[in-house]
Structure 1
Amino acid sequence: MTRDFDGDRIILSDLGFFGYHGVIPEEAVLGQRFFVDLVCGADLLAAGRSDELQHSISYAEIYDVTKAAFEERRFQLIEAVGQHIVDRLFEAFPAIRWVQVRVKKPSAPIAMVAGEAAIELRRSREGR
């Protein structure tokens, strides 16, 4: 991991959503479950010292922005879903310096008995 992704983090894991993202036409009709993991880099020193939400970023608000971004439109690629989430998080929260997002597709239309298909993006505000 590069220095861009060092420091304090707000983490949300296994956020479950139902969506219609995918290349195969049936995915647009039937939909499927997706899971999203987020790690957002932000300076949390003031929040840790003050115990005041105004010095942090509400993880409930991060969830709301993520959910809205996930549901805003249909994408063919989970890479595009992930990038859209990152873009919306940077727009909504100026204090977020970097985002790591993993979009998991446990029911991907491939012949696997167990497991999931996933992508992971790492984006810094400067390198968007």
Structure 2
Amino acid sequence: MDKIILTGISAVGFHGVHDFERKNGQSFSVDVEIGLDLSKAGKNDELNQTIDYSLVVGMVINILTGPPVNLIEKLAELISEDILNNFMQAKSVSVVIHKPEAPVGAEILDVAVRIERVR
């Protein structure tokens, strides 16, 4: 299956189970892979034959900067639902949420979750 891949969509959000996370905020980064047929777009060179990347980025940013949730799993679910509900040509979506500043009691490079949903 063909894929549109967007990597490193970043914004500050106020998500987490701790009060200080919701007060201070922190950086989140999102990677999205959308499975769809890109053959018509490749042949016809028309935007209406694919998914407009800027719309996907805007949707992700709106969710990251929107109302707080406790878990990055919930953020991933919200993003995948939004993509599948708004782009009928999307057959599948994979969403990775990175939370590099997660308060885990040790220095780490990243905490992330990946979900995959198929229509």
Give the TM-score normalised by structure 2.
0.95
Which residue in 2 is equivalent to 1:60? 54
Q: Distance in 2 between matches of 1:109 and 1:72?
A: 21
Q: Distance in 2 between matches of 1:120 and 1:24?
A: 22
The unaligned stretches of length 5 or more in structure 1 are: 1-6
The unaligned stretches of length 5 or more in structure 2 are: none
Q: Secondary structure at the match of 2:65?
A: helix
Q: 2:39 aligns with which of 33, 42, 45?
A: 45
8 Å Cα contact 2:15/2:21 also seen in 1: yes
Q: Secondary structure at the match of 1:108?
A: coil
Q: Distance in 1 between matches of 2:96 and 2:106?
A: 20
1:30-89 CA deviation, whole Å, 9 max, x = no partner?
000000000001110000001111111111111111112223321000000000001111
8 Å Cα contact 1:21/1:28 also seen in 2: yes
Q: Distance in 2 between matches of 1:14 and 1:112?
A: 23
Q: Secondary structure at the match of 2:90?
A: coil
Q: Distance in 2 between matches of 1:23 and 1:59?
A: 31
Indicate the RMSD between aligned Cα atoms, in angstroms. 1.0
Q: Distance in 2 between matches of 1:86 and 1:54?
A: 21
1:21 aligns with 2:32: no
1:9 aligns with 2:3: yes
Q: Kindly report which structure 2 residues correspond to 1:1-128, keeping only aligned pairs within 5 A, or say none.
A: 7-125=1-119
**Aligned length in residues:** 119
Q: Secondary structure at the match of 2:95?
A: strand
Q: Distance in 2 between matches of 1:102 and 1:64?
A: 16
